[in-house]
Structure 1
Amino acid sequence: MSAVCNAPSLSSPSLPFQAAVPPAVRRGAWQLAAGQAMSLRARSDSVLCVRQGRIWVTRDATAHHGSEDLVLAPGETLAVSAGQRVVMEPWDGFGATYSWDSATDAV
């Protein structure tokens, strides 16, 4: 598995190249390609953890707070309550890798 990265080069400025994602990062993780958005709704209390890249996350509004935009870096986590929906996409043109686990498994 690899992430698609778009970066300028002298020979071909518009062609994407493959960047290796280390196996330790891939294991138990999902990838978001550059420009891809993903919507997830937690069935139970969950934890989103960024493993590689940066992810822009928008949480839906709840009775306790309004909609919220966050940018998470590798190693950062976000607690997501049961029933809550998040929309996420890579922050830049390099894609990202993340895990989504039950809050009880993440402890």
Structure 2
Amino acid sequence: MNENKLPNATAVLILGIVSILGCCCYGLPGLVAGIIALVLAKKDGELYKKNPTMYSNYGQLNAGKIMAIIGIALSVLYAVYVIVMISTIGWDAMKDPQLMQEKIRELMGQ
């Protein structure tokens, strides 16, 4: 039987990788890439479930989906961390390392 490739499996894999790498940019790029990867993975997953013998790269799709989930989780955690840091020490301290050290000393009671 002639096996085809799922149309978005490579895109899902690349977006999954980008979502893990993008979590370090305040979480937003990783979150966006991860959500797009999951939407594409759902569409291809439905295609695969209709006729599993017709497609050959389901493993690639599954790996991308797993990476997208990990990327979304890391992005959310990092975004929460940034929000907490901004609310406790302020945006100005986030930009200035010396001011950040002073604010952290104040919070530690030193």
TM-score (norm 1): 0.23
Q: Which has the higher helix share?
A: 2
Q: Which has the higher strand share?
A: 1
Higher CA-based Rg: 2
